[in-house]
Amino acid sequence: MELSDERVLEELSLSGVSSSLISLADVVRKQSVGEFVYFRGLIEISNICNKNCFYCGLRKDNLNLKRYAMTEDEAVEIAVSMYRSGLTSLALQSGEVKSDRWVEKLVSIVRRIKEETKKIDIESGKEPEGAGITASFGELEKEHYEELFKAGAHRYLLRIESSNRELFYKLHPEDSNHSYENRIKCLEWLKEIGYQVGTGVLIGVPGQTEKDLLNDIRFFQSFDVDMVGMGPYIEHRNTPLYVWHRKEIESKGFYRRAYELTIKMIAITRIIMEDINMVASTALQSVPGCENSLEMGIIAGANVVMPTFTPPDVKSSYNIYNKRRNLSLKEMVERIEKAGYTPVLDRWGDPKHFLKREGKPSPV
């Protein structure tokens, strides 16, 4: 369904969230993707990162962060345990490291997870599909993406953070390691290779306008993405962005505005793009003072959630932003059911948008 630029800007500029907007998004969502909410078990393999993004707690120059990297066996064991418990779709995430040696490790993890979970299918008398795997390892070389795809990852999430080049460089250093053009190129490579491609933006960052957010949605459309993962900006205090904008970030209403804009962005994107997958992000669930944000994200049109299965001894070190909340799988299931939607743990839940474009059958 199309919405005019004027209508989108009007909704984004309103104080609060329009009930008519949410109602329309819910109608479109139920017609396009149903009332299902698909689960991805999230494993954060490493917080080591070679980037220096101004907003992120994993940035290379954050010397206060205790760094970790799981072994292959640790990551595979978590994934296999998750799969045996009935959660058949997972997401693998890490800080960005481009070295061949590191990528070889990631490829091996993906391959082993796929092989081990296929064995479980065979033991159970099922078609050996194995786990559905989303990868999110940042900007890599094209051959790295190809190797991960061949190993068994079929979805990839790479957030643009802002489609406005000028704002992008207020969030990232302007150097060879943080290139807007390279980010776009990586998204193009992912699509060429055959991934289900996801991107997204940071919402409510200082200096961002409603027009920027409108253009972000138009970027999703023009790139014809299959998945969108976007969430509110929550600060990490050991970052330049917080230092530069501390007064604004700590002002009354800052979090509320970021939360409301996120809900509106989810709703508008659902209405316009209809059958893509959208994540109710951990950041959305973590907004201070917004206790029902998971439910609101689902009602607004999100149909994917990602409970974290990173081990407790390192989970707190995957600290992109402060104030992170980690709802358990059980809590998410209960809250989604209470909101009137159907949690789905035992299906891949690939985006209908991708399946339609590729002419593939769409499972119920």
Q: Where are the domains of the chain?
A: 5-344
φ, ψ of residue 267 in degrees (nearest 5): -65, -45
Contact by Cβ (8 Å): 237, 324:
no
pTM: predicted TM-score of the whole model, two decimal places: 0.97
Q: Is 186 annotated as a binding residue?
A: no
Residue ranges in the chain whose pLDDT is less than 50: none
pLDDT value at residue 360: 86
Neighbour tally for 356: CB within 10 Å: 12
Q: Is 53 annotated as a binding residue?
A: yes
- Give the closest residue to 274 by CA, choosing from 217, 230, 216: 217
- Give the closest residue to 178 by CA, choosing from 353, 262, 55, 282: 55
- Give the closest residue to 117 by CA, choosing from 80, 62, 155, 163: 80
pLDDT value at residue 291: 84
pLDDT value at residue 203: 99
pLDDT value at residue 93: 99
Could you tell me where the DSSP H helices lie in 246-341? 246-249, 254-273, 282-285, 293-300, 312-315, 329-338
Q: Is 49 annotated as a binding residue?
A: yes
φ, ψ of residue 308 in degrees (nearest 5): -90, 130
DSSP-derived 3-state class of residue 198:
strand
pLDDT value at residue 361: 80
pLDDT value at residue 239: 98
C-alpha distances out from residue 53 to 209, 223, 233, Å:
20, 24, 13
- Which tokens in the block code for residue 301? 């049109």
On average, the pLDDT of the chain sits at 97
Any idea what the Cα angle at residue 14 is, between residues 13 and 20, rounded to 5°?
A: 125
Q: Is 290 annotated as a binding residue?
A: no
pLDDT value at residue 323: 87
Give tens-digit pLDDT for 86-102: 999 999 999 999 999 99
Q: b/e per residue, 147-167, with b = 16+ CB within 10 A?
A: bbbebbbbbbbbbbbbbbeeb
pLDDT value at residue 363: 66
What is the C-alpha radius of gyration for the chain, rounded to an integer number of angstroms? 19
Helix pair 254-273, 5-13: axis angle to 10 deg: 150
- 5-344 has which CATH code? 3.20.20.70
